[in-house]
Amino acid sequence: MSSSRQRAYFSRRSAFDERLNRVALAIARAHEQRRHYLDLTLSNPTEAQLPYATDAIVESLASRGALSYSPNPFGMLSAREAIAGHFLERGLTISPESLMLTASTSEAYSFLFKLLADPGDDVLVPEPSYPLFEHLAVFESIRLRPYRLAYDGRWHVDLDSVSRAITPETRAIIVVSPNNPTGSYIKRDELDAIAEHGIPIIGDEVFARYSLEDDDARARSVLEARGVLTFALSGLSKVAAMPQMKAAWIAVGGPPADVTSAMTRLELIGDTFLSVSTPIQNALPDLLRHSRATESAIVARSYANMAVARGLFAPPSAASLLHAEGGWYVTVRLPRLISEEEWVISLFEQDGVLVHPGHFFDMHDEAYIVISLLTPETEFAEGMSRIARRVSDLSAP
Query: How do 356-357 and 368-372 pair as beta strands?
Result: antiparallel
In the DSSP assignment, the letter for residue 153 is S
The ranges assigned to domains in the chain are 11-51+293-395, 63-289
pTM confidence score: 0.95
Torsion, Cα 256 228 202 137, to 10 degrees, reads 110
Distance CA 61, CA 69 (A): 15
User: Which pLDDT value is given to residue 5?
Assistant: 54
CA distances from 186 to 86, 203, 204 (A): 20, 10, 11
Burial class (CB in 10 A: 0-12, 13-18, 19+), 159: middle
User: Which pLDDT value is given to residue 2?
Assistant: 47
Distance CA 322, CA 154 (A): 8
Distance CA 188, CA 222 (A): 9
DSSP 23-75: HHHHHHHHHHTT---EETT---GGGS-----HHHHHHHTT-GGGG-----TT-
Entry field: residues in the chain: 397
Torsion, Cα 3 25 106 140, to 10 degrees, reads -40
What are the E-state strand segments in 212-283? 230-235, 248-253
Fold of 11-51+293-395: Aspartate Aminotransferase, domain 1 (3.90.1150)
Q: Using an 8 Å Cβ cutoff, are 377 and 319 in contact?
A: no
Q: Using an 8 Å Cβ cutoff, are 101 and 276 in contact?
A: yes
Q: Using an 8 Å Cβ cutoff, are 354 and 37 in contact?
A: yes
Distance CA 328, CA 94 (A): 27
In the DSSP assignment, the letter for residue 211 is B
Nearest to 181 by CA among 47, 373, 378: 373
DSSP 266-310: HHHHHHHH--S-HHHHHHHHHHHHTTHHHHHHHHHHHHHHHHHHH
Vertex 391: Cα angle to 385 and 396 (nearest 5): 125
Residue at 108: amino acid letter: A
- Kind and range of the H or E run holding 321: strand 320-321
User: Which pLDDT value is given to residue 366?
Assistant: 87
CATH of domain 63-289: 3.40.640.10
pLDDT by residue, tens only, the chain of 397 residues? 444 555 578 888 888 877 878 888 888 898 889 899 999 999 999 999 999 999 999 999 998 888 889 999 999 999 999 999 999 999 999 999 999 999 999 999 999 999 999 999 999 999 999 989 999 999 999 999 999 999 999 999 999 999 999 999 999 999 999 999 999 999 999 999 999 999 999 999 999 999 999 999 999 999 999 999 999 999 999 999 999 999 999 999 999 999 999 999 999 999 999 999 999 999 999 999 999 999 999 999 999 999 999 999 999 999 999 999 999 999 999 999 999 999 999 999 999 999 999 999 999 888 999 999 999 999 999 999 999 999 999 887 7
Any residues with CB less than 8 A from the CB of 266 and at least 6 apart, and which? 73, 74, 100, 111, 115, 250, 252
Distance CA 222, CA 94 (A): 13
CA distances from 85 to 99, 211, 246 (A): 12, 19, 19
- End-to-end Cα spacing for the chain: 61
